[in-house]
A = this chain, B = another copy of it.
């Protein structure tokens, strides 16, 4: 079985929705996703770090469309792991595991990796929304579209715009 490495924030968990709604709660104005296209997350949301350090930020993130359904199918065909950057925000560690347990109950604790950098991670396929993670990976790299990477040239990685596209590609 091929080793498939799946990122969490921006791939399974809709972290933009959390940023947008935390910001709306703080300032009373809601940006649209189109407004933040081409900006890094810290350019788009000036209190990004504060929100990410807030208890419940990660625990209450909504699911990205089709992620659960497709990951459940992929989990039968691949040696699948969820690899998520988490140690920058230590309170997120337990929240992320609880979130996975709730929305992806077929993913066991043996399939979870919470890290700072992903430089040690090897496998056959990586799905991630950040170049900084894909660039170090030794296998096939799928760039999951999010506003921060939408304008970037994807020549080093294969862009995927939805879980439906991933489903067609990998199943």
Residues of B within 8 Å of A81, CB to CB, are: 119-120
Asked if A121 CB lies within 8 Å of chain B CBs, one says yes
Bound together, the chains give a CA A81 to CA B113 distance in angstroms of: 14
Please give the distance in Å from A120's CB to the nearest CB on chain B: 5
Residues of B within 8 Å of A93, CB to CB, are: 93-94, 97, 114
Main SS of chain A's interface residues?
mixed
Residues of B within 8 Å of A97, CB to CB, are: 87, 90, 93
Residues of B within 8 Å of A116, CB to CB, are: 108-113
B109, B122, B123, B138: which contacts A87 (Cβ < 8 A)?
Answer: B109
Whether A120 and B5, one on each chain, are in contact in the complex, defined by CB atoms closer than 8 angstroms, is yes
> Which residue of B is nearest A111, CB measured?
B116
Bound together, the chains give a CA A16 to CA B123 distance in angstroms of: 33
Provide 10 A-B residue pairs closer than 8 Å at the C-beta atoms, listed in order of the A residue.
A3-B119, A3-B120, A87-B109, A87-B110, A109-B116, A114-B114, A120-B122, A121-B122, A122-B122, A122-B138
> Which residue of B is nearest A101, CB measured?
B90
